A = this chain, B = another copy of it.
């Protein structure tokens, strides 16, 4: 299993504040020399979706769901104070002011630090998302068995 300490983070939520927390922990752990995996599942898949979908999902209901549930790191919302976009917009400006990296930049940093970004195949099928709909930083597509095998060996396990 290697001798590095491991951390595994399930990213279930797509709210920008929770996603930033997840990436802060992931990149921090990778910078400290840990082996870090982020497992994007359910709404969390939106974080690693391309803004433009190559083709829509099949079937009317999946299409409806797809319209409601648009992806892309720039579209993430705040878990509180969203207020029709004002809260999220305010936070994006605040973020820049505080020199914090945006989610997109965070994804790049995570990638360059060797954080493994995994997309949950069960959620992908369920939400009608194909491999080509996800950004290239996603290096692996796997289900719960893969997650569990990693989590069992991890010193830090979080569900965000």
Contacts and interface: CB of A to CB of B under 8 A. Distances in A.
Secondary structure class of chain A's binding surface, majority of residues: helix
Interface residues of A, number: 54
A109 interface: no
A148 B28 contact: yes
B17 A97 contact: no
Contact of A28 (B62, B65, B91, B145): B145
A90 B81 CA distance: 23
Interface stretch (A48-56, A110-118, A130-138, A149-157): A149-157
Given A24-B122, A32-B145, 17 more contacts: A7-B148, A10-B21, A12-B17, A12-B160, A28-B143, A28-B144, A61-B93, A61-B94, A61-B97, A65-B91, A68-B81, A69-B81, A100-B122, A152-B155, A154-B156, A157-B158, A158-B158
